[in-house]
Every structure is written in structure tokens, then in C-alpha cells.
Amino acid sequence: MRATSRPMGLRRGILGGAILIAVGAPFLLQALGAANAPAYLFVALGAAFLAAWYVGTRQYVYMVPAAVLIGFGLGLLIPTWVPALADAA
């Protein structure tokens, strides 16, 4: 065994599990009666990529989809949180 190799089960990513939680969270919010619940999917997926960057090896390939998805999701959610902004648009 080489010195640079590591055991297979020691360090695994969290992206797969975080995406499953992120996809299920809007369905739970919709069942609870949250307004504009499908828009939370984008924020949750962005948070999953952000968590993968934070927990992982800090590869910036996770930061780009995290920033895009969180930005798009907040762009959909902010008008539902502040009704005056929805009227101005």
C-alpha cells in the first residue's frame, strides 16, 4: 500500500445526501402551507453545494453552482417575503 492512498470508507462526500434532503424539503414546506415553496428548492440545492464545499476539500467547483442557485432562489423568494417589492416590479 502506498503512503498516499487512503482507505475507501474513510472520507466520503456529502453532496448526494444533501441533494436528497434539498429536494425533499420543498415538498415538506408545501405540505406545511409555506408560500412559494418550490422556490426553496433552489436555495436548498445551493446550500447543499455550499455544504459540499465546506466539508470537502474546498474545491471551488462547488462554489459556482452554490452561488448561482442561492442567488436565483433568493431572487424568487424575496418578493414573497416583502410584498412591497412584488408590487414595485
Which comes out higher in pLDDT, residue 54 or 8?
54
Segment 56-73, tens digit of pLDDT: 778 888 899 999 999 999
Q: In angstroms, what CA-CA distances link 70 with 12, 25, 81, 88?
A: 24, 15, 16, 22
Residue 74, C-beta contacts closer than 8 angstroms, at least 6 positions apart: 43
Which comes out higher in pLDDT, residue 20 or 56?
20
Whole-angstrom distance, CA of residue 78 vs CA of residue 83: 9
Contact 40, 6 (CB under 8 A): no
Phi, psi angle pair for 9, to nearest 5°: -85, 0
Residue 63 confidence (pLDDT): 92
Residue 2: is its pLDDT beyond 60?
no
